[in-house]
Structure 1
Amino acid sequence: MKTVLVFGTFDNLHPGHRWFLKKASLYGDRLVAVVSRDAFVQDIKGYTPAQNEVTRITELEFSGLVDTAILADKTIRTYGVIRKIKPDAICLGHDQLSLLNDLQSWLAQSDEISLELYVLPPWKRRKFSSTKRNRVRNKVLDSPGICFR
Structure 2
Amino acid sequence: MKTVITYGTFDLLHTGHVNLLRRARKLGDRLIVGVTTDSYDQSRGKLNVMESLEERMENVRKTGLADLIIKEELEGQKIHDIRKYGADVFVIGSDWSGKFDYLREYCEVVYLERTKGVSSTDLRSARNPIVYMGIAGYGRIAGRFLRESKYVSNIEITAVFGRNKEKARRFAESHALLEYYTEYEQFLDRVHAVYIAVPHHL
Question: Shorter-normalised TM-score: what interval?
Answer: 0.7 to 0.9
Q: Describe the shift of the 1:45–1:14 C-alpha distance in structure 2 as closer, same or farther (beyond 3 A).
A: farther
Contact 2:103 2:109 in 1 (8 A): no
1:130 is aligned to 120
Task: Specify every segment of 5 or more residues in structure 1 that has no aligned partner in the other structure, as ranges.
Answer: 145-149
1:119 is aligned to 111
Render the CA deviation track for 1:104-128: whole Å, top value 9, x for unaligned.
Answer: 33554xxxx3x1110011212x3x1
| Greater relative CO, 1 or 2 (CA 8 Å, sep 6+) | 1
State the secondary structure of the residue aligned to 1:6.
strand
Q: Describe the shift of the 1:3–1:42 C-alpha distance in structure 2 as closer, same or farther (beyond 3 A).
A: same
Match of 1:139, as an amino acid? I
Q: TM-score, normalised by structure 1?
A: 0.76
Which sits farther off after the overlay, 20-29 or 130-139? 130-139
Contact 2:4 2:30 in 1 (8 A): yes
2:58 is aligned to 58
Q: Describe the shift of the 1:48–1:42 C-alpha distance in structure 2 as closer, same or farther (beyond 3 A).
A: farther
Aligned-residue identity in percent: 29
Q: TM-score, normalised by structure 2?
A: 0.58
Q: CA deviation at 1:59?
A: 1.4
Contact 1:88 1:116 in 2 (8 A): yes
Match of 1:129, as an amino acid? S
2:27 is aligned to 27
Match of 2:17, as an amino acid? H
Matched residue count: 133
Q: Distance in 2 between matches of 1:59 and 1:94?
A: 22
- The CA RMSD over aligned residues, in Å, is 2.4
Superposition misfits of 4+ residues, deviation over 4 angstroms: 140-144
Q: CA deviation at 1:9?
A: 0.5
